[in-house]
Structure 1
Amino acid sequence: MELIISSICNATFCEAVYDNPLIESQLTKTQIELLALAEELNGKHLKIGTYNNYPLSWTERADNGTLIGGGVAFTIIDILREKFNFTFEVVIPNNNFEFGGSRPEDSLIGLVNSSKVDMVAAFMPTLYKLKDLVSSSVDIDEGVWVMMLKRPAESAAGSGLLAPFESHVWYLILTAVLSYGPCITLLTRLRSKLIKDHERYIPLSPSCWFVYGAFIKQGTTLSPEANTTRVLFATWWLFIILLSAFYTANLTAFLTLSKFTLAIETPRDLYKKNYRWVATQGGTIEYAVRDPDEDIHYLNQMISNGRAEFRSVSNSEDYLTMVKGGAVLVKDRTGIDHMMYADYLNKARQGIEETSRCTYVIAPNSFMKKNRAFIFPKNSKLKKLFDPILTNLLQAGIVNFLKNRDLPSTKICPLDLQSKDRRLRNSDLMMTYLIMVIGLAAAIAVFIMEIIIKKCFHIRLKTEGPRPKRTRANRVRFQNHDETQPPPYESLFGRNSRYKMTDQFQTKIINGREYWVVDTVSGDTRLIPMRTPSAFLYQRQRRM
């Protein structure tokens, strides 16, 4: 109930229950001590240190030269000032640092540790190594540092025809295509040796062409009769059917959705891929990277090789210029959200199209998380007096509201822009162009090899002697044609026809299809489909 009342009163208008003089005799020792501290603070003048870290804290110089504090931190200070009736002046460090510097005046920690200020109104990380130097208030929020980078033109997972599968999947598919043809030849040769029948083994060249033709969904002239060979063919066809189904579905998703997979998602990616990144000089990130006890200390090696840089800038647009140049900015989430929102509004005022306003994107995983609080000199009485009020503000959600009150309720420039008008770009079809170029180059190379082989073979025949004349038996192409198979149309005409040719052909219609009725030289009768479009299916050639 006390928390509800404190939330409604905003820890400003209403006094605590123990302020009632009618029940002072019932107050505890702690409550009496807090009342004494409040009475002691009443009317005092404090020195409050801060630094420029928009929107959490910043300073402006008034016309008379005095500094005026702003941001979430000084909104909380105003609440404390109205409650305890004190005045204050703002002090800033010389170098706008949280940590470090050669003199105490260079950083906030130095100002507090040297007692040059009474407290620091800034969101400072509560680090274990600083407990002997300063005192921290109760945690007022959890600081989340994220990585902001320029939105890539295409997904890191791939683009175009190769996007649906990962690299190792393509390697396995290529291995299957190259190895299955020799497997067919090997197994059919082994079967032909173990089982003596009329079916011979399939040579390597037809096997490879069958595998390649089935891979691009083309037919084949091979007609196996053995169950073993049929199972081999059916297995490859089933593999191609499933592979094509998965590929088509994933390709459609990659070409129609605008969701990106970033190349940088975790701090480890910065180190592995050697990306250039930048952070605030003298800030929490620099302190954590240089501290050997921190988890991200491995990034310290990138400082020595020049891939990591710490800068202190007066204008946030300077950071955006670095990000446009390819650097990754590491900063607290609140500051980056305000930077991206301000950049979005500027582009909207300039009339830039909606699809081009989200220039930057935030990595999905955080860089680092630390609890943050106000800090005081060691053994300061202000800590004990301010902590109950800060706790009420935190539990009421007022601190979180103040941090996000200038931001829209929706996510700013998310990774998935939910675009519905995704158009194909040249980068999506680049693999198509590459296949055409490679195919033409391969055809030209094979053509040149054929010419060279033909010429060399012709010269060798000339040196060996005249070619033997072809006999009638050699000229018969369909000598060993299987009578159980439909005859090729070439066998109907010419000198080597296996059918008796007459001036008039007798036709017969069976089941709605017209056939020629012909007699073979052996006296049998055969039905041959007329040359309709479907009749081309029977135009096959027996390969020996």
Structure 2
Amino acid sequence: MAGIELIISSICNATFCEVPYNETYQAPDSLAEKDTNFMSLMKEVNGKNIKVTTYNNTPLSSTELENGTVVGKGVAFTILNILRKKFNFTYEVVLPTKNFELGAKISDDSIIGLLNSSKVDMAVAFIPTLLPYREWVSFSIDLDEGVWVMMLKRPKESAAGSGLLAPFNDLVWYLVLAAVLTFGPCITFFTRVRSKLITDDEGVLPLKPSFWFVYSAFLKQGTNLSPEANTTRVLFVTWWLFMILLSAFYTANLTAFLTLSKFTLAIETPKDLYQKNNRWVASAGSSVEHVVKTEGEDLYFLNAMISSGKARFLSVAGDKDFLDFVKKGAVLVKEQTVVDHLMYNDYISKKDVEESEKCTYVVAPSAFMKKQRAFAYPVGSKLKGLFDPVLTQIFQAGILDFLKRSDLPSTKICPLDLQSKDRKLRNSDLIMTYMVMVAGSATAVAVFGAEVFIKRYVSGKLNKNKKSKRKKSKTGKSLKSHDDSRPPPYDSLFGKNPKFNVETTRMKMINGREYYVFETSNGDKKLIPARAPSSFLYRSDK
């Protein structure tokens, strides 16, 4: 209950109740003098009409024309009305000629200009307390911390990448490509070195078979190479283990990306704007423009984007006009409260749109900048000493935070991750499959053209030389080599293949199983199972 009493007491003290004084307490002379000055200021302001200025920054501050009179709206004027009821004064709104906080010149085109020339008594707006501003105006107590965010159009896909490339970053893909291109020559190199140091039956594996072994294993296919040396076998096993682990990680990460991956943006920090040279806009004459153009500020590096046209400071009638630039790909830099209201109003305006399509915009996770904000007075104004105690009580009671979000829902508006559980694969997820098909087909056409060129124009000359050498050979016969490590063709048992001697085929029991035993043309013996299901493929009577 103590907390509730404190809140009620703060609201009461800030609005309708008199300034609390303890008559029994004997204050020191300094406090008594301060109280005397405070009471005299109250009497001076009582019934007085003061001039205030503001600018359009909905919902924090704005104006409307009612019956020919400019009426202030927004959170700032709600606070001013509390002060008006407290001290019994009236006010008149004087607008600057431009919707600027600070213009190019200190004149009537901005709030700071009106205050510096003492044409108004107070600025009812949340103005950042920048150090250069303090040279021209006097600020009240800090009312809140303004957070400027980056609002951009929600992309259709995450910045992590397209579906097939997303599991690994660019460095991993480059290293995998390097491994595929270099491991084949490594096998050839080691077998060549081994053949020179150790003399055995295994020769050198040429570069072409080694490369195709690496490529086929990369696609998880088999090979007809049968290494005999332990060194070569270890190399083969090493590559197979590498591909097994790589494919396991890739499959697991691809599944996680397509189902549970966190949505990321390409623009998350102000440095991303500069590094990726992305277009962005902000209000003209605002503190953002002043910070970016002031040398020595943290965001001064963005000043280079102004000359290139990537950064623009625009003067618009309403903040809603900025949405047209955001739809075209630009990033909007604005206060978080303003952006939240823009996104919420845009969300509720889409009544006939599917729920998944209502969140058109999104806010970057990192803030653009943070600055303290306050009301402002002319330098030496007496209103500062009168209003600051009440503004302190309003701030401590949390009334400002409540007013800024009173028109917004309690949940986060259009968060970065929409928590969609029924995600379906989009065409963008499979774009790499189409690129692989196109690249593979183009490569096949290029290789085909190269083969035609080599066979017809390059190999033709070599064949002529070979024919002349064959005529000089003694035997005049050419021996055709064949690979007996492969299984015989099915038609070998039916006399259609002269390479196999079918007439010598006989039955033989080996380890309890029947086999057809026949001899090849070079004298080797081959076995074909007689009772296995696959043996029916060899039976001529079925």
Alpha-carbon distance change, 46 to 534 in structure 1, aligned in 2, over 3 angstroms: farther
Indicate conservation of the 8 Å contact 2:162/2:432, yes or no. Answer: no
Q: Cα offset for 1:527?
A: 5.5
Please give the secondary structure, in 1, of the residue aligned with 2:350: helix
For 1:370 and 1:319, the matched residues in 2 are separated by: 22
CA deviations on 1:399-457 (whole Å, 9 max, x unpaired) are: 11111111111111111111223222222222212212222222222223323333332
For 1:526 and 1:101, the matched residues in 2 are separated by: 96
Partner of 1:44: 48
Q: Cα offset for 1:123?
A: 0.2
Partner of 2:464: 462
Structure-to-structure mapping, 1:145-544, within 5 angstroms = 145-257=148-260, 259-348=262-351, 351-456=352-457, 457-462=459-464, 465=467, 467=470, 474-475=479-480, 477=482, 488-489=487-488, 495-497=498-500, 501-502=503-504, 504-506=506-508, 510=512, 515-516=515-516, 528-529=528-529
Q: Cα offset for 1:250?
A: 2.1
For 2:236 and 2:530, the matched residues in 1 are separated by: 30
Letter in 2 for 1:461: N
For 1:446 and 1:413, the matched residues in 2 are separated by: 51
Q: Cα offset for 1:530?
A: 5.1
Count of residue pairs the alignment pairs up: 522
User: Is the counterpart of residue 35 in structure 1 residue 39 in structure 2?
Assistant: yes
Partner of 2:60: 56
Please give the secondary structure, in 1, of the residue aligned with 2:250: helix
Q: Cα offset for 1:476?
A: 5.7
Q: Cα offset for 1:305?
A: 2.4
Indicate conservation of the 8 Å contact 1:476/1:496, yes or no. Answer: no
Query: Which residue of 112, 133, 136 corresponds with 1:133?
Result: 136
For 2:107 and 2:373, the matched residues in 1 are separated by: 21
For 2:116 and 2:92, the matched residues in 1 are separated by: 18
For 2:347 and 2:305, the matched residues in 1 are separated by: 31
Indicate conservation of the 8 Å contact 2:52/2:121, yes or no. Answer: yes
Please give the secondary structure, in 2, of the residue aligned with 1:43: coil
Alpha-carbon distance change, 530 to 341 in structure 1, aligned in 2, over 3 angstroms: farther
CA deviations on 1:143-170 (whole Å, 9 max, x unpaired) are: 1111111112222221132222222221
Alpha-carbon distance change, 514 to 98 in structure 1, aligned in 2, over 3 angstroms: farther
CA deviations on 1:492-516 (whole Å, 9 max, x unpaired) are: 765554x884365345674xx6544
Alpha-carbon distance change, 378 to 530 in structure 1, aligned in 2, over 3 angstroms: farther
Indicate conservation of the 8 Å contact 1:51/1:57, yes or no. Answer: yes
For 1:427 and 1:514, the matched residues in 2 are separated by: 57
| Structure 1, unaligned runs of 5 or more | 536-544
Alpha-carbon distance change, 520 to 328 in structure 1, aligned in 2, over 3 angstroms: closer
Q: Cα offset for 1:289?
A: 1.4
22-31 or 93-102: which moved more? 22-31
User: Is the counterpart of residue 74 in structure 1 residue 77 in structure 2?
Assistant: yes
Please give the secondary structure, in 1, of the residue aligned with 2:91: strand
Please give the secondary structure, in 2, of the residue aligned with 1:431: helix
Q: Cα offset for 1:37?
A: 2.6
Alpha-carbon distance change, 342 to 189 in structure 1, aligned in 2, over 3 angstroms: same
Indicate conservation of the 8 Å contact 1:279/1:329, yes or no. Answer: yes
Indicate conservation of the 8 Å contact 2:506/2:516, yes or no. Answer: no
Q: Cα offset for 1:135?
A: 1.1
Letter in 2 for 1:200: G
CA deviations on 1:230-284 (whole Å, 9 max, x unpaired) are: 2111111111112112211222233335743222222222222222211111111
CA deviations on 1:268-303 (whole Å, 9 max, x unpaired) are: 222222222111111111111121121112222222
For 2:345 and 2:245, the matched residues in 1 are separated by: 49
For 1:23 and 1:428, the matched residues in 2 are separated by: 75
Q: Cα offset for 1:89?
A: 1.6
Partner of 2:101: 98
Indicate conservation of the 8 Å contact 1:6/1:392, yes or no. Answer: no
RMSD: 3.0
For 2:156 and 2:249, the matched residues in 1 are separated by: 25
For 1:194 and 1:323, the matched residues in 2 are separated by: 69
For 2:166 and 2:425, the matched residues in 1 are separated by: 13
TM-score normalised according to structure 1 size? 0.87
For 1:86 and 1:533, the matched residues in 2 are separated by: 105
CA deviations on 1:146-203 (whole Å, 9 max, x unpaired) are: 1111112222221132222222221111111000000011011111211222222211
Please give the secondary structure, in 1, of the residue aligned with 2:108: helix
Indicate conservation of the 8 Å contact 2:506/2:518, yes or no. Answer: no
Partner of 1:123: 126
Please give the secondary structure, in 1, of the residue aligned with 2:238: helix
Indicate conservation of the 8 Å contact 1:506/1:518, yes or no. Answer: no
For 1:405 and 1:531, the matched residues in 2 are separated by: 85
Identity of paired residues, percent?
A: 58
Q: Cα offset for 1:101?
A: 4.5
Indicate conservation of the 8 Å contact 1:509/1:515, yes or no. Answer: no
For 2:200 and 2:59, the matched residues in 1 are separated by: 86
Please give the secondary structure, in 2, of the residue aligned with 1:244: helix
Letter in 2 for 1:8: I
Partner of 2:8: 8
CA deviations on 1:452-477 (whole Å, 9 max, x unpaired) are: 33333245433664546987882463
Indicate conservation of the 8 Å contact 2:102/2:286, yes or no. Answer: yes
Alpha-carbon distance change, 450 to 317 in structure 1, aligned in 2, over 3 angstroms: same
Partner of 1:542: none
Please give the secondary structure, in 1, of the residue aligned with 2:203: coil
